[in-house]
Amino acid sequence: MWLISKIKQVLLVAKPGVVTLSYPFAPHPVPKDYRGQPYWDHHKCIGCGGCAAHCPARTIMIRDVCQELRVMMYDGSRCTYCGRCADVCPEDAITMTPLYEMATGDKNDLSETMELFMATCHRCGRCYDHETGNSIDKMRNIGYRYDSIEMRAVIPKTTEQLDLNVLKETENFKRPEKK
Amino acid sequence: MPNIDEVKKRLTDKFKGDITNIDQPVNNRLFVDIKKDKVKEISNEVIAMGGRYLVSVGYDRLAEEGVLGLIHTFSLDKDSIMMALRTSTPENEPIESITPDIPNAGWSEREYMDLLGMKFKNHPKPKRLIVADDWPADVYPLRKDVPWNLMPPPAENVAYELDKCPEGCTVVPVGPYHPTLHEPAHFSVFVDGETIKGADYRGFMTHRGIEKLCQTQLTYNEIPFVAERICGICGSVHATSYSQAVEQAAGLKISRRAEYIRTIMLEIERVHSHLLWLGIAGHLIGFDTVFMQSWRVREPIMWLGERLTGNRKTYGMIVVGGVRRDITPELKEDILNVINKIEEELLVVKNAVIGDTAIHKRTKGVGRITKEETIKWSLVGPVARARGVDIDARRDNPYAAYDEMKFDVPVFDDCDVWATVLVRIIETFEAIKIIRQCLDKMPNDGPVLTEYLDPLAPGKHGLTCVEAPRGEVVHYLITGKENSPERWRVRAPTYPNLQGVPLMLLNDQFADLPIIIGSIDPCFSCTDRVDVINIKSGEVQKMNRHELEEMSRKYKK
């Protein structure tokens, strides 16, 4: 019993031989619909904020610095690559690229910032068309948003009109710290 | 075999004045509102009817009704019924503990002592469980008035009081980091020579507060992605269970095609998880051929996951209302090829190792507990099935497309780790069978995502279970305002199984500890250092691997 078992094990190991891939010395291609690093096309983006409202890891920040300028930032350092942003984008401005070699010493290498010129009516966050369909997918933060780009933190506070006081208040936002 | 009406009748007959309301939103779910004085009696009655304790859910209703809510959930496996006993208590009034009769409720109740400040009468071990040792005693993090990002200042010189070591035994601490534990956890093992005489556990060192985070910060459709990260191995299980709970609470019926795709994803996950476990189990008993070869066999299924979902693990496939990606005819072909290959190769691995006496010697008769004890401690999954308890959520409480699947549930009466190995190997073949049936029967059209049009009403309850590779996952959901849940409770299979580990360790050899703890499914981290405490002098001596080896060589002579 024991000997037969050992012989079988030798065959089991010998038959497949060495299966180790030569990566990283040879490239390792990924399948077609792989969810790699997301890419924002600023020509297509309308600044609706759908991606920011649906990002489970809260890696997409929006700050309305004035009436016409919306700053959007993607912070790849804590992205989970779920690809939800690409799913919900009504304009297909976000694509998941096949890039996966993203080790870097500098967080900023993984970030993307866009400054979007906005016409006033596009600011309400209702141009996000998925809103009208699935009520489970409803956006919670609509209107003007004041996330902290410096601290890379989502601030769950929105207003219907641009509020300069909130803008000022959130300017020096600090994350809570252990005392 | 009582049906749901008989269960209702039996409860109302016996406890007429103590049951205020019975709610039956769907066919096989019972939500029973009871008075708090009779919690223990009614729970025992449910157990007497063949119920199995699942988990308790505590929630904060202080602002709305001035009470703390408590829900005990049970599953009547033979009758495919899941039921919840709902009660509530004012902040300072204690509630009768059900732990003396149902030992598995011990952790749940301790959890709400920590998180909600509930008080339980006659709890056998009212110690801290969840929160850190230096967490302030009067801050209850799950209460709504405590902010989600609160960070109290750390305290010095606080430590958990482990159980007293029995007379004549020595303490061997295993953890907080240990090669056999897949997360920081501390077992204080009491040994007499080489024989284990008892153990105490202090864990929850990676408690991340996911429930609180999701209840306060995220919306319904973001939570599946966080739920998936509860476990790195069986992610889809949690996402499915959560999504089903929301769908049940909302009364949303998803398309059949989406249910089939969910089933396929769950079974793919089971195949990969069992192969991973088989490898680790081999590794833990020092049989690395099993480790290498089962992981080699497993690799193609990880690549398959990449092609199906875009990621090799944490598939991100399941959302409330269905799934995100469709399975095209080409992918169908692909799945078939991969599982055929895996079945073939796994058979070779199985035949090569199943007769090896080394495995038999290390696993047979190890981690033995009786069937009665397993039922009493409400253990789940392969651990229970290896001990003669015939439960499987896929068959007992069918969800997704399992009602149309034909598969065997392997059950063994060996009551040891060897039976666990067998259960998992057979389940892998069964999983492959289920995937084939799914691909065969899957409807060819239909949307993969069903949208929910009306706003979701607050205060609805949902209770679901999913059979994960390691056992049964239970999710309880109470819907809330603003598109996010008021309470979401997750019970992973390790939660009940870990409570049974001290029992499994009892009277076993210390060298078998890794495989016994490993048999409930671990991953591993690394350390090469043990603390040896001399009980009499209280002196602590730290030893590195080299010293240990030296010592063992010396004693061997």
Contact B453 A135 (CB under 8 A): yes
Answer whether the bond into residue B522 is a cis peptide, omega within 30°: no
Give B212: exposed, middle or buried? Use CB within 10 Å, 0-12, 13-18, 19+: buried
B517 compared with A113, residue with greater pLDDT:
A113
A-B contacts (CB, under 8 Å): 117
Domain enclosing residue B252, as ranges: 210-497
Q: Tell me which H or E stretch contains A12.
A: helix A2-14
Q: Which residues contact B121 (CB under 8 A, 6 or more apart)?
A: B94, B95, B96, B97
Q: Which residues of B touch A80 (CB under 8 A)?
A: 225, 229, 314
Q: According to the 3-state scheme, what is the secondary structure of B161-189?
A: CCCCCCCCCEEEEECCCCCCCCCCCEEEE
Question: Is B306 an 8 Å CB contact of chain A?
Answer: yes
Q: What letters, b where the CB count within 10 A reaches 16 and e where it falls short, cover A58-86?
A: bbbbbbbeeeeebbbbbbbeebbbbbbbb
- Nearest-CA distance B226 → chain A (Å): 7
- Phi, then psi, of B497 in degrees rounded to 5: -65, -35
pLDDT at B446 (0 to 100): 84
Q: Tell me which H or E stretch contains B271.
A: helix B256-284
Tally of domains within chain B: 2
Q: CB of A23 within 8 A of CB of A40?
A: no
Q: Which residues contact A114 (CB under 8 A, 6 or more apart)?
A: A40, A42, A45, A71, A72, A73
- Nearest-CA distance B344 → chain A (Å): 12
Contact B296 A19 (CB under 8 A): yes
Residue A129: pLDDT band (50, 70, 90) is: low
Q: CB of B39 within 8 A of CB of B46?
A: no
Query: What DSSP assignment string belongs to A81-138?
Result: ---HHHHH-TT--EEE-S------S-GGGGEEEEEEE--GGGGSSTT-GGGGT-GGG-
Domain assignment present for residue B346? The answer is yes
Tens-place pLDDT, residues B46-98 = 999 989 999 999 999 999 999 999 999 999 998 899 999 999 999 889 999 99
Question: Is B237 an 8 Å CB contact of chain A?
Answer: no
Contact A12 B316 (CB under 8 A): no
Question: Which residue type occupies B91?
Answer: E
> Could you tell me if B215 and B112 lie in one domain?
no
Strand partners of residue B473: B466
Mean pLDDT by 10 residues, chain B (557 residues): 82 89 89 92 92 93 92 92 93 92 92 92 89 88 89 84 85 80 81 89 82 89 89 88 94 93 95 92 88 93 93 91 92 95 93 87 88 92 92 93 94 91 94 95 89 87 93 92 89 86 87 83 33 39 59 57
Of the candidates B468, B497, B526, which is a domain's last residue?
B497
Question: Which residue type occupies B553?
Answer: R
Domain assignment present for residue B145? The answer is no
> Could you tell me if B224 and B107 lie in one domain?
no
Query: What DSSP assignment string belongs to B356-378?
Result: -HHHHHHHTT-S---HHHHHHTT
Which of A18, A136, A147 to mutate to probe the B interface, most B CBs <10 Å? Answer: A136
Tens-place pLDDT, residues A11-49 = 888 888 899 999 989 999 999 889 999 999 999 998 888
Domain assignment present for residue B377? The answer is yes
Q: What is the CATH number of the domain that holds B374?
A: 1.10.645.10
Q: CB of B376 within 8 A of CB of B387?
A: no
This complex has an ipTM of 0.92
| Residue from the list B310, B349, B356 with its beta carbon closest to the beta carbon of A35 | B310
Q: What is the CATH number of the domain that holds B86?
A: 3.30.460.80
Domain assignment present for residue B25? The answer is yes
| Residue from the list B289, B303, B451 with its beta carbon closest to the beta carbon of A134 | B451
Instruction: Report the SS3 class of residue B402.
Output: helix
Of the candidates B450, B482, B497, which is a domain's last residue?
B497
CA nearest to B358 within chain A? A2
Domain assignment present for residue B351? The answer is yes
CA nearest to A51 within chain B? B222
- Phi, then psi, of B145 in degrees rounded to 5: -80, -5
Lowest mean pLDDT among A120-124, A147-151, B391-395, B455-459: A120-124
pLDDT at B524 (0 to 100): 28
> Could you tell me if B125 and B214 lie in one domain?
no
Any idea which residue has 């998992």 for tokens? B424
Please state the separation of Cα B339 from the chain's center in Å.
26
Rounded-to-10 torsion of CA A18, A24, A30, A35: 130
Dist. CA B135–CA A52, nearest whole Å = 33
Instruction: Report the SS3 class of residue B215.
Output: helix
| Residue from the list B154, B353, B483 with its beta carbon closest to the beta carbon of A9 | B353
Give B54: exposed, middle or buried? Use CB within 10 Å, 0-12, 13-18, 19+: buried
Contact A135 B310 (CB under 8 A): no
Q: Which residues of B touch A2 (CB under 8 A)?
A: 355-357
Please state the separation of Cα B94 from the chain's center in Å.
28
Domain assignment present for residue B11? The answer is yes
Of the candidates B130, B155, B186, which is a domain's last residue?
B130
Domain assignment present for residue B465? The answer is yes
Dist. CA B378–CA B398, nearest whole Å = 20
Question: Is B342 an 8 Å CB contact of chain A?
Answer: no
User: Among candidates B201, B216, B204, which has minimal Cα distance to B163?
Assistant: B201
Dist. CA B466–CA B400, nearest whole Å = 9
Q: Which residues of B touch A96 (CB under 8 A)?
A: 310
- Phi, then psi, of A159 in degrees rounded to 5: -130, 160
Domains, chain A: 37-170 (3.30.70)
Tens-place pLDDT, residues A49-106 = 889 989 999 999 999 998 889 999 999 998 999 999 998 898 899 999 999 998 999 9
> Could you tell me if B306 and B420 lie in one domain?
yes
Q: Tell me which H or E stretch contains B486.
A: strand B485-491
Query: What DSSP assignment string belongs to B52-98?
Result: EEEEEEEEEEHHHHSEEEEEEEEEEGGGTEEEEEEEEEETT--EE--
CA nearest to B228 within chain A? A82
Domain assignment present for residue B238? The answer is yes
Query: What DSSP assignment string belongs to B294-355?
Result: HHHHHHHHHHHHHHHHSSSSS---EETTEESS---HHHHHHHHHHHHHHHHHHHHHHHHHHT
